[in-house]
Structure formats: C-alpha cells, structure tokens
Amino acid sequence: MSNVAVIGAQWGDEGKGKIVDWLSSRADVVVRFQGGHNAGHTLVIDGVTYKLHLLPSGIVRKSKISIIGNGVVIDPWALMKEIKAIQEKGVDVNPDKLMIAENAPLILPVHGALDEAMEMTRGDKPIGTTKRGIGPAYEDKIARRAIRICDLEYPDVMREKLDRMMLHHNALLKGLGAQEISADEIFDALMAVREEILPYKAVTWKVLHDAHKAGKKILFEGAQGMMLDVDHGTYPYVTSSNMAAGQAACGSGMGPDQIGYVLGITKAYTTRVGSGPFPTEQENEVGQFLGEKGHEFGTTTGRKRRCGWFDAALVRQTVKLGGIHGIALTKLDVLDGLEELRICVGYEIDGERVDYLPASQVKQAAVKPIYETMPGWSESTYGARSWADLPAAAVKYVKHIEELIGAPVTLLSTSPERDDTILMQDPFVA
C-alpha cells in the first residue's frame, strides 16, 4: 500500500475536490499541507454540495481523521465559520476527527489589510491575490514574526509577539497610506476565539507517523496548482507557498520517503483565475463555450476563470517539477460537442521553439503556443464510468495527452459526481 499526495498540475481549479473526496473513501487520514483559505475545493456527495477552504476533504466522512498541517496558514475566524457551516449540513466535527498542527501559523486581520494595501500599490498590474492575507502571513512565518496555534495557550507570550509584529506592520501600513490597526483589537479577537480553536491543537507530525507505522493509508491534499508555486510557477503571479511533492513532506512533518504515489490533477482543457501569463487562453467563442459549459467560477472568490486549450507543454513541465507519477484528468465532458480540439505541444519565442515555459516573466509574456489539432466528438461523455462508454475520438484524445505529458492518466473524471470516475490504476496500491 502507498500513501498518496494530490497536487494541481495547472493553475489550480483542476477539480481536486472531487478527486480527493473520491480517494478519501480509500484513505484513513487526510492532511492539508500548504496554502490557506484562498483555495477552495467543491465536493458533491449524494446531491449535497460542500465548499471547503481550510478543512481537508476527508472531513465529510465519518471514519476519517482530518489534519491541517504546519505548512498551512490558518485564519482562525474563517476556520470556525467553515466548521459551523458544514456542521449545519450534518457533518460531525470534533477534536478526535479534526486536528490542527500546533506549529501552524495564524492569519490575522492585519495580514488581510496588508494584502489589500500592497495590491492597491500595483495599480493596473495586480498579482490577483484574493486579499485574504495569505502572502503576508507566510512573510511573517519566514521573518520569524508569526503567531502560531501553540501561542494561543500562552496569552502573555502571544501579546508580546503581537506587539513586536504590529510595530513592524503599522509602520508599513502608515507608509502605504492605509489605516493602522490596534494590537489591542487583534489580541482581544484572538482571546475570544482561542477556546474554540485550542481543542483541535495536536502534535500532528506524531499522529501521522503513528498512523503510518500502523499501516494506515494517508492522503496528502494540496491546494492551488504547480504553476502557482512560488518557486516554479509564473512568478510573480503566483501564490506564497510550494505545492510540489516535497512540500507534502515539509508541510506535514513526514519524510519524503513516506509520500509514496504523487497524483497530479489536470483539466482536459486549461483555466486560470487572476492575472499572469496564459499561453493557450482563448478570448473568443471557444473560451466562452468552455467557461459556460464548465461553470468556470472560483470556489473561493466567485471570479470568472480564464479558459483555453489544453497545454501539454506546461503539464509535461509540472509532471517533472512536481514529482508526479500519474494524472487524474477531469472535466472531459466539457469538451463534448466541439468539432475540433487543439493541444499546445510547445512554444515559440522570437522565432525559436522551446518545449518548456521559461522562468523569465518577459519571456513568458512573449511565448506563442504551437498547436496540434485533433478531431472532437459529438457524443456525450458525461457520467461515463468505463472506457467502453467513451467515443473513440475521446479515447484518442486522452491517449495522446498521455504521450505528450509523459505520464499515464490513472483516473478520468466525467462529471462532478464522485462515482462518475474511470479508474485505470488505484494510486493507493501503485
């Protein structure tokens, strides 16, 4: 048996929620290892829709342990709101079922204020942040200013750390022309929420190691996608954390050798939310068709996603960078009805052909996609649960994607419903 890490192989929004939910039925423990509540996973189970942001997708299952790892930045008020929202839908959430790493850093109100103030300074060239404070919270972690879950136990220590933090942040807010924030207000707000949060605090790295030693199956759940990785994505139009397989280890407290199988999630086309390069974007009727049929609006922000053709060159790159062993291909059914399909197989920059997306934002802005064309299909693939249910042209499309990206398609999703999935290889027994 193998532990499994799930990571996005494009710019996020690849349909990880459904795939993680599908896999969580086979896992014993589900752990989030990076990101914050800027990411969103949508689950549809027995006709009930759950929108999760911080909570691992395993939380909706009675017998699973869900862990928020140390690599996640946590807004305690957003977390409690999310817990209460799913409790109202009949999901039981308690400290035996949900555990939060004691060394996970907190997102505070000042982080959201800084996020918005910094985005305003960028004028007509915003990064496209959700303004939820994720970036500034990670900055505090690296700068050794962060207040962590374990600090909630000790108000005097928390107050001392908060005063030092706000000395820095208020100077920055003042310099940006934004309103300063009182350390007293933040302290009082933390004291009001601490009794709700502290019962979930745990030594999660030890819980995970004990589970692994006992032969339990662990599912590592990533947020966003590899092209938003702070090191390997389309910098600076990226998030503030890493999401490659190595981060599943760092962000949970387990060794890299215990990760096992790495499953990349990718749509059968490409989408992106916010600013930044997007070589295969279709600002035409094709993009409109994909957006409308695929219901392409962000789970967290509600923002309309940019849509375009499948970029095999980009996914081939993320397969290598992310340590991906196999792909879960989602939303194949959205392509139903298109007479012709295009796949990007490489790029051209100033007349030179390259087979990867360069790191330079100047070169990224200059790339032109090189396409291959394939016939589409008129038949419906919606809800297909076997290869025999797919039209021949759809099978050829999937097989060609495998050849181009250098990784097998191990799962194929044909609708938002969990069971509308074609399994070629179970990652837990890979």
Active site residue 389: no
Residue 168 and residue 188: Cα distance in Å, rounded? 19
13 counts as catalytic? yes
Amino acid at site 374: M
How far apart (Å, rounded) are the C-alpha atoms in residues 335 and 379?
10
* CB-based burial, 381-409: b 16+ in 10 Å, e otherwise: beebeeeebbbebbeebbebbbebbebeb
User: Could you tell me if residue 35 is left (phi over 0), alpha (psi between -120 and 50 degrees) or otherwise beta?
Assistant: left
Separation of alpha carbons 74 and 134, rounded Å: 9
Give the position of tokens 């992310």. 322
Q: How many CB atoms lie within 10 A of CB 189?
A: 14
Distance CA 49, CA 240 (A): 28
Q: Which of 13, 229, 311, 420 is catalytic?
A: 13
Q: Residue 76: which of 182, 162, 147 has the closest Cα?
A: 147
Instruction: Please identify which of the residues 37, 41, 53, 169 carries the catalytic annotation.
Output: 41
Sign of CA dihedral 294, 300, 305, 309: negative
d(CA 36, CA 23): 21
Note the helical H segments in 128-280: 134-142, 155-175, 183-197, 204-213, 245-250
Which tokens is 344 given? 């990007």
User: What residues are annotated to the active site?
Assistant: 13, 41
